[in-house]
Amino acid sequence: MADAKVIPFDDDRTRPGGAQRPARRRSVSAAAGAAPVSALPGGEVPMGAEEAEEGAVTPQEAQEAAGRGDWDRRIAGGLAFLRRRVTGDYEVDEFGYDKELTDQVLMSMLRPLADKYFRVEVKGIENIPSDGGALIVANHSGTLPLDGLMLQVAVHDNHPANRHLRLLAADLVFMLPVVNELARKAGHTLACAEDAQRLLERGEVVGVMPEGFKGIGKPFGDRYKLQRFGRGGFVSTALRAGVPIVPCSIVGAEEIYPMIGNSKTLARVLGIPYFPITPTFPWLGPLGAVPLPTKWTIQFGEPIPTDSYPPEAAEDPMLMFNLTDQVREQIQHTLYKLLVQRRSVFF
């Protein structure tokens, strides 16, 4: 016996006696969390008994429901995050890097500074490989090392693979009480060849600023003039790990704290490399520590491969000197090019 086709009595399109009327259409799709329904021919969606009684969902109601669902998910995620923090149910690597804390808290705190205040424009992000190790070498400036933090946000938020940048920081960073802990949690580690090589061999993206305090503490008159790059230790590390070197040029950081003087006496008393004097600091007190809202550009250059060199190349001082000079010249050339293209420091 052939199967009989049963037509529900309350179908909108067919009524007893053959009477028909236009089918009612839902104005919006089902609210968030509702079970999916099958569309009828012509894109019509059948209405359930509850909807027939209560009426169609308006766009405003659907938007409010979606908003409530979004807030519910955020609150649930926040509570779960706090529970893991309290119970210690989270992972930290051997260097102290806390990926969850960095992604959900530290990056969220730095992102408005990068996107809204400095309005960082990122170029050449495709030059950072999607997987495997890479060494990013950048210029250093700005009196305070905000350029390193903005570089970290730029890589994390703009790279298609959302890669994390592990910065190599100076000893002073890990001697300061609160800064030490935050730097470790954010993935920074001591600027030494051993740590850098271990990270690179694990496939991490490592960032280094070879100018060090010479670059960040130089007077405003020497802005965008690269200082000495040391003895080329970063090149030796890249050669040993066989990873590409990615030159990086940062424009905009030099003007956030125009350093017009340096109190060497206060620097010696405080045990710091320099004590900056700017047009606003220390004259305006804590208010003078607010950086100027300059417009930034971060450009990643063409990577320089190192995997074609033999293992003993890391011990060749002439090769290290040539590669160091090549990286430095590429960064300096890009800085000049970006400065020529820039029309305003602030806009």
Quick one: pLDDT at residue 56?
A: 65
Quick one: pLDDT at residue 312?
A: 87
Quick one: pLDDT at residue 336?
A: 96
Quick one: pLDDT at residue 179?
A: 92
- Pick the closest to residue 295 from 112, 153, 120, 110 (CA basis): 120
Domain boundaries, the chain: 99-256+291-341
| Residue ranges of the chain with per-residue pLDDT less than 50 | 1-53
Quick one: pLDDT at residue 57?
A: 67
Quick one: pLDDT at residue 21?
A: 44
Q: What dotted CATH number matches 99-256+291-341?
A: 3.40.1130.10
Quick one: pLDDT at residue 55?
A: 53
